[in-house]
Amino acid sequence: MTRTDHDVLGIGNAIVDVIGHADDAFLERRGLVKGTMRIVGAADADLLYSEMGPGVEMSGGSVANTVAGVASLGGRAAYIGRVRDDLLGRVFRHDITAARVTYRVPAAKEGPGTARCLILVTPDAQRTMNTYLGACVELGPEDLDRSLIAGAAVTYLEGYLFDPPKAKAALREAAEIAHAEKRKVSLSLSDPFCVERHRADFRDLLERHIDVLFANEIEICSLYETADFEAAARAVRGHCEIAVLTRSAKGSLIVTEEGTHEIAPAPVPQVVDTTGAGDLYASGFLHGFTRGRPLDVCGRLGSLAAAEIIGHVGARPEASLKELASKAGLA
């Protein structure tokens, strides 16, 4: 295999989060399903913003969070995603660049503004997300930087990219470029409703192009249309080299052709906000994976990174994950 420029290249929706607190009654009155993501138009986003409590703005985007986590672990990370040349776009670019992630996509000079996601955190620390896709809607194959993909050990694709209409073609093309260079391709299923909307496309992409799959319990069950997690875990075996199945407080399960590894969750003194838990689990796992660590160590790195992120508000690490990994004997 030729030399790599990056360990992990992420391709996803470039989003700035607006995180606020809400109670269950607020979600109910607006028909929001706790723990999920829905796409909203500009008018709905404005209305919800006017109704929600005070917010904190910070860069987000599922796979963008993952690559920021990889960089925090000391890995070489890069990102492809689309923003506008507006204030939120400048915030997104500043934050991902300051996190030492290579980000070269120029800001769009026209079209909808930079995407934002209104995140409502309930007292149980669960998050419910409302995404206005904005500038992400136009992401397509023309935004792919072929040399960046060719030079990355793993290209990591965001399942949410099935939502913007042209991005599906970009995902397929990115996977083809990566495999032509004998690189690995990874995918996150992102969200159960997202799986619901695009099940056939997801299964097709998985079986043709994916080496490492990330899914949580509900997502993998939705993918195989079963309520039985064990059945879903059996179903995914053989469809990809490694399936990483996360189960919140129950830890995670790593499924390969050869067998399974059960990973315990890392301890968290107080769960404050679960936003980004899956994203950061992927950071830890992929960092270990690109360093050639055994799969159980990859899983423990995932648990460690997820534990850091759920201890505070927001989906980008506040502490150096490299130092945390080192303290835990996983560096």
Question: Which range binds its own copies by CB under 8 A, 44-52, 155-163, 177-185, 277-285?
Answer: 44-52
Q: Does residue 47 bind its own copies (CB under 8 A)?
A: no
Q: Does residue 30 bind its own copies (CB under 8 A)?
A: no
Q: Binders of its own copies among 163-182, rule CB under 8 A?
A: none
Instruction: Give the number of residues in contact with its own copies, rule: CB under 8 A.
Output: 27
- In angstroms, what is the minimal distance from the CB of 115 to its own copies? 14
Which residue is it, tokens 């009155």? 29
Q: Does residue 91 bind its own copies (CB under 8 A)?
A: yes
Q: Which of 31, 50, 267, 292 binds its own copies (CB under 8 A)?
A: 50
Q: Does residue 55 bind its own copies (CB under 8 A)?
A: yes
Closer of 91 and 105 to its own copies (Cβ): 91
Q: Does residue 267 bind its own copies (CB under 8 A)?
A: no
Question: Which range binds its own copies by CB under 8 A, 82-90, 124-132, 157-165, 199-207?
Answer: 82-90
Q: Which of 33, 42, 56, 264 binds its own copies (CB under 8 A)?
A: 56
Q: Does residue 65 bind its own copies (CB under 8 A)?
A: no
Closer of 17 and 191 to its own copies (Cβ): 17
Q: Which of 48, 67, 99, 149 binds its own copies (CB under 8 A)?
A: 99
Question: Which range binds its own copies by CB under 8 A, 93-101, 136-144, 168-176, 278-286?
Answer: 93-101
Question: Which range binds its own copies by CB under 8 A, 185-193, 253-261, 292-300, 314-322?
Answer: 314-322
> 220 and 226 in contact (C-beta within 8 Å)?
no
Which residues in this chain contact its own copies in the complex, by CB under 8 A?
Answer: 20-21, 49-50, 52-59, 68, 86-88, 91, 94-96, 98-99, 312-314, 316, 318
